[in-house]
Structure 1
Amino acid sequence: MLKFIAASIRSGGAITPVSYNLVRLFSSAKCPPNSIRPDEASIGLQNGTARREGDRSSSSVYHAAYPPIISITNATFYREYPTWDSPKKDNPPLYPNLTFSLKSHIPARAGERPSLEHCAVIGSSAKSTFLDILRGRYICIPPTARSFPYLLALGAARAKGSRSSSHDAAHAIQYVGFNGDQKQSAGGIRGSYMSARYESRREETDFTLRQYLQDQMSLNPLVREKEELLDDGSIKHSESDEHLNKIIRDFQLQDLLDMPVANLSNGQTRRARIAKALLMKPEVLLLDEPFMGLDRSTVPVLSHLLRQTTLSGAPRIVLALRPQDPIPEWVSQIVLLGPDNTIALQGTRDEVFRTLQLWQAVAAREAKSTLVKGTGDDNSGISKRREYDRLEQLRKNGQFDDFANILHEMGLLHEQAEKVDKKITPLGEPIVEMDGVHVKYGDKVVLGGWTQVADGRTTKEGLYWKVHRGQRWGVFGSNGSGKTTLISLITSDHPQTYSQPIKLFGRSRLPEPGKPGISIFDLQSRIGHSSPEIHAFFPRHLSIRSSIESAWAETFLSKPNLTPERAMDVDAVLRFFEADLNPDFAAPCSDQIQTTTSWADSLPFSSLTPAQQRLTLFLRALIHKPDLIILDEAFSSMQSSLRDKCLHFLEVGEQLHMASSGTRRTPNYANVWHLPPPPSSSGPKLCHTGIADHQALIVISHVKEEVPDIVGQWMRLPTPARTTEEAGLVMDFQIGQLAVQESVAVDAWEMIWNPTAEGKGGFVEGDEKEVEVLRVM
């Protein structure tokens, strides 16, 4: 759902039910106005005239005219220069006839200083492409349609003769991506292999955070690099040190400077990467999905931190957000992306909000008299009635689908969902057994630092947890609570798997009397795993087919053990998700099943969008029908329709007429998912019918819509001490169980994330009777 952080909607009356659903208030503290640098003030005085002293009108504004920092007018962009004989499908236009302007300053009222303009770009896909356009990438037609007037004016206003290139778009506009695309968002922060972050051994290439911030990420660094920086005309060394220390203090990185960057947590990594970008002193900072993977208590903390960085006069911030992300209160402009690299809506926050209200009213077929009631402005009311009539006519003509799809992506269409009725699966033998797991590094406890009722009566220290065949678990907790550590113990990526009291598939990693230890290859063949860590290390040169087939290989790049049946399984998932993976997909004109999947043999993993890459890794985790499926933030970057399609495939496979989380959340799924026609009696049989009774499932997510309705048990890890100090939020360890008709998204989400909420029910290991939820401090 579209949410505004401390958004003030000037509707002229009480908040209507529609606007109440759109507005979520938190982090509403007032911030002081932005200060203006002397060189910026000179630009304003050169380009405009201040308000006359005698003008006392309260509505008058400060007329110092600052040129826009980014200006795009009727431009169309291409990845390659277009030629008349090149196929359009190989080089499609990007955002045709785009007009966009990012103001360098927002004019203020009399007696006030101009403030900076900050923008939010909202969409399920193509956000990175839009940000690339803003920072000067792609071919612009016509070439003069994209310019950076403020950067030119700022460079001219400063000392002449400087060789500094800091006001070129490449230097003045900095990009930091968090959407999982290794090519753009790796940022140099990753280890040599997945287990490296958990090991005490340090290699020469395990650079510290201090070295990362000072750009010393090479062997024998710095002497020449510093000389190059000075020759390039950048700031002096003493000023650089002062600026560095200020950034370190502002982002609370003092205690992490000597830690290897590969060992930083998710939240620490974000702070480090944003800090490094700010060291370049950019005029514009582009942040691609900065809130992805963060719990909801951490999001306002990061939002406030970003706001604080703008108070010195720079940078302007452009946020690329998912539809479910909250919009910070300091964002003044919103761009809403549409399908196929188009702009659906843009304007100020209030303008976008009012337009979305109209769309929502038309979709819900509300009376327009109710919609415009109480505006107090006849002209505004007439304009809204006319727009409502235009949209209503589009709906009657069947041309409102794009608007409805956008509303659905943003969670603004409230369809009556079907009642959840989970299948009761028989409880099998335990796959994962943890009997007092307690992981710590020195004096720092990262998992198991609590006491827990272990056998129904005795309270013991550490994590006691079992995952049986047939169970579907959700594991939740704030950033830094130990979720990644927990999963790494199960997958054996963590070295302490060998020493902790853990059994996987009834065996420990080390041999026991009369029982050999389980090998890493046997273990990994029985686990399907999709996570941000897998995404970061997965080889980019593999084709889509090879990426999925690697589920039957011992390593990413070794030869998979394929059979004719397994090849058919791969073909089946490629047909089911062809519309989402094949760029040349065209809906069949008849019910004839497309039998060829050769398109997946030549498309490399690197050519896919982050959402398509996540989809490929999701299919890789399911394709070999493992005993245990682990989905750790597996649906991040996906638009809601694709996520729901994945949930459907997870639960019921290719069975099109079976109810699932996806069909309940996407009522018009038949038109949105572009599903292949059902197989005929003489055609290929269904290869995938969803998760089986003998399989277990573990899901980790910070977004409730990403949790399938089949999840019946959940565990919440406690808030770490350092997060408690920063956010003031305390969540204890808790285990719970849902009734057959309940789901995490509808019935348990608020209870899980609200430390003061009381649970409905829970369970004790080995007892199926509902009892009070276990609370362990």
Structure 2
Amino acid sequence: MRCTHICRKTLSENCLFKITNGNFTSEYKDLKSNRIVFGSAIRNFEVTKAGSPEKSSLWAIFGPAKSDFLQVAAGRFLSVPPLSRSYPQLQEDNGHNKIQFLNFRESRGIDKVHLSARYESYSYKGEAEISDDVNSVYNYITGANNYNSNSSQKDPQYVSNLLELLNLGHLSKKWINSLSNGQLRRAKLAKALINKPQLLILDDPFLGLDSDSTKLVSRSLRDISKDLSISIMLGLRVQDEVPEWIEKVAYVTHEDGIKLCGSPESVLSSVKEQIPVETLQAGKNKNKMASTEKIHNDELVNSDKVPHIEFKNASVIYRGLPILQNLNWRIPRGTHWRIFGANGTGKTTILSLITADHPQSWKSVLSDDGVLRKTGSGSNFFDINDKIGISSPELHSLVPSNKTFIQVVLNGLVKNIGNSNFMFDGSKVPLDDFAKHVLSTFNDEINANASTPFGQLSTTSQKQALFLRAVIKKPELLILDEAFSCIDDPLLLEKCHSFVEEDLRDTTVLQIAHIDWELPRCDYVIHLTGDDQRSYSLHKYV
């Protein structure tokens, strides 16, 4: 299929959103100096009403510029010329709230709080308060937890149907911040749908979800479009699978605008022809193709060596329900681990115990270098975190938008402030040889973004800044919690992976990702099953 900028024209009476010979910018002032979003104008692109005969109501958008393109569809950026972007049917129907845009790249929680605050909040809520309070799932979806919202106008039957479609009925009274990643994703979708939009725009709706949650969210979106007559635009990565219910696909770049457009089969086939396979699949088969063998905890550390970190009969209980139960896990110094399990199996709880963010971190559930961590043991939160480098969605959501790329990176050198404090300047901290090596290795990427405020960086560059911040102090323990989940540049991803594998070979590394190819190569994996017994198993890659 030859590259083309032109999508087939559709009937205007069914058109919800249309671009005709348009480009976009953030400001009208001095267009010559302002960034134009696309190198070539978008000649023709249309989204039609759900169920229309043109079959242009269910779109997947791929490519380096997909997030910008979705923001254009949501009404952001300024169109040049002004009338090149239009919403024919939405204007006729009084388009207030008729478009809903959700970006799942920005953060995975409801509130921008660090883990310690999140767990402390949870620990101080009583059972009755957690099960049915102003912050329940139902009130979050209907807006009843917002005093500026008039939830009384919501149709109870519509809300009930929405909860059923998204498999949320049994969760309606739960505290919103107690939901798993997949459950929270569906709650956010329900909230976006409460005002009955005609066009739903979602950037990375499956990001950070395990396979089962991805399938459930995808089925929910399919049913939403069919039962509620809602058109949908999804922003996906090239490596992602396209849901079978998608009707059209567009591949978008900043240089060309819409580079490819058409049926899923034709566009994806052309993408594979034009982009080198090794680029599309950089790192994709590292751990997926490796076989594993089950091992016992006692095999991990020789009798004459002390584990870097050890959980011994560790249990964590919330509201009488076990999150971890009798966990025995020795982590030898310098080993690279994957923590694997579905959403809600305890992965984040394990990390929060290690980083001392969890309230139960000091209740003798783990040891550091053979020393049981407990109140009065001599270690403190700041000493522990000086030895840890971390990149996670929670930290990502806390970065001040005005901090520049290089300020975020160098902040990792500042001691005695913890990992969640971005306010201290690290530019005057002397650079050791390893820090110089980090800056030299990623010199091109740093120079390209050094003075750019974090809030103006692409998500890929934001992720890179957090990764460099985590490694620049040469931590004894590196935690990568979905650290590479939003990186669109496969070659940059491979570069970061190689750095972990080669330059941090002696560093203990703990990693979480739901997709194999997002991970650097690992030595071991702990598999959390999430059953009633909170079972787990240990495996070695061979």
TM-score, length-normalised on structure 1? 0.60
Partner of 1:546: 407
1:174 aligns with 2:80: no
Write the mapping of 1:235-634 to structure 2, written as runs, cut at 5 A: 237=152, 240-338=155-253, 340=255, 342-356=257-271, 360=273, 403-405=274-276, 407-411=277-281, 429-448=306-325, 462-511=326-375, 516-551=377-412, 552-553=414-415, 554-555=417-418, 556-557=421-422, 559=424, 565-566=430-431, 572-582=437-447, 585=448, 600=450, 602-634=451-483
Residues 81-120 of structure 1 correspond to what in structure 2 (within 5 A)? Answer: 81=28, 83=30, 86-87=32-33, 90-94=34-38, 96-98=40-42, 99-105=44-50, 108=53, 117-120=57-60
1:698 aligns with 2:510: yes
The alpha-carbon deviation at position 241 of structure 1 amounts to: 2.5
Letter in 2 for 1:69: L
Give the secondary-structure state (helix, strand or coil) at the position aligned to 2:363. Answer: coil
Which residue of 1 is the match for residue 24 of structure 2? Answer: 77
Would the alpha carbon gap of residues 295 and 578 (structure 1) be closer, same or farther in structure 2, given more than 3 Å must change? same
Q: In the TM superposition, what whole-angstrom CA distance separates every residue of 1:391-443 from its partner, at most 9, and x where no partner exists?
A: xxxxxxxxxxxx335x54433999999x99xxxx9986312110111212123
**What is the SS of the residue equivalent to 1:430?**
coil
Distance 1:258 1:550, change over 3 A: farther
User: Does structure 1 conserve the Cα–Cα contact (< 8 Å) formed by 2:339 and 2:511?
Assistant: yes
The letter for the 1-side match of 2:494 is D
| Bigger CA radius of gyration | 1
Name the amino acid aligned to 1:103. Answer: T
| Structure 1 residue 296 displacement after superposition | 1.7
Write the deviation string for residues 318-357 of structure 1: whole angstroms up to 9, x where unpaired: 110112221111100001123546332111223324534x
- State the number of aligned residues: 509
Structure 2 partner of 1:50? none
Contact 2:134–2:144 (CA under 8 A) maintained in structure 1: no
Task: Answer yes or no: is the 8 Å Cα contact 2:114–2:394 preserved in 1.
Answer: no
Alignment-derived partner of residue 212 in structure 1: 140
For 1:615 and 1:64, the matched residues in 2 are separated by 44
CA distance in 2, matches of 1:79, 1:354: 33
Residue 573 of structure 1 deviates from its aligned partner by 3.5
What is the Cα deviation at residue 445 of structure 1? 1.7
Instruction: Verify the 8 A CA contact 1:95 1:343 in the aligned structure 2.
Output: no
Q: More strand per residue: 1 or 2?
A: 2
Partner-residue secondary structure (3-state), 1:101:
strand
Question: Which amino acid in the other structure matches residue 525 of structure 2?
Answer: W
Shift in Å at residue 264 of structure 1? 2.2
How many Å separate the matches in 2 of 1:466 and 1:563? 38
> Which runs of no fewer than 5 residues in structure 2 stay unpaired?
1-9, 291-299
Shift of residue 214, structure 1, vs aligned partner: 2.6
Contact 2:17–2:47 under 8 Å retained in 1: yes
Q: Higher relative contact order by CA 8 Å / sep ≥ 6: 1 or 2? A: 2
Describe the shift of the 1:547–1:353 C-alpha distance in structure 2 as closer, same or farther (beyond 3 A).
closer
2:15 to 47, 61, 68: 68
- Paired with 1:285 and 1:152, the residues of 2 have a C-alpha distance of 16
Q: Distance in 2 between matches of 1:339 and 1:526?
A: 40
Helix, strand or coil at the partner of 1:312: helix
Q: Please tell me whether the aligned partners of residues 282 and 314 of structure 1 are also in contact (alpha carbons under 8 angstroms).
A: no
> Equivalent pairs: percent with the same residue?
30
Q: Give the counterpart letter for 1:537 in structure 2.
A: L
Q: Helix, strand or coil for the counterpart of 1:464?
A: strand
Say which SS state the counterpart of residue 699 (structure 1) adopts.
Answer: strand
In structure 2, do the counterparts of structure 1 residues 505 and 283 end up closer, same or farther at CA, with 3 Å as the change threshold? same
Match of 1:400? none
CA distance in 2, matches of 1:467, 1:415: 25
SS of match in other structure, 2:330: strand
RMSD of aligned residue pairs (Cα, Å): 3.4
Q: What is the TM-score normalised by the length of structure 2?
A: 0.84
Q: Deviations over 1:203-244 (max 9, x none)?
A: 9998333332232445xx25xx42xx8xxxxxxx46523222
CA distance in 1: counterparts of 2:255 and 2:55, whole angstroms: 34
2:115 is matched with which residue?
A: 194
8 Å contact from structure 1 (residues 77, 96) kept in 2: no
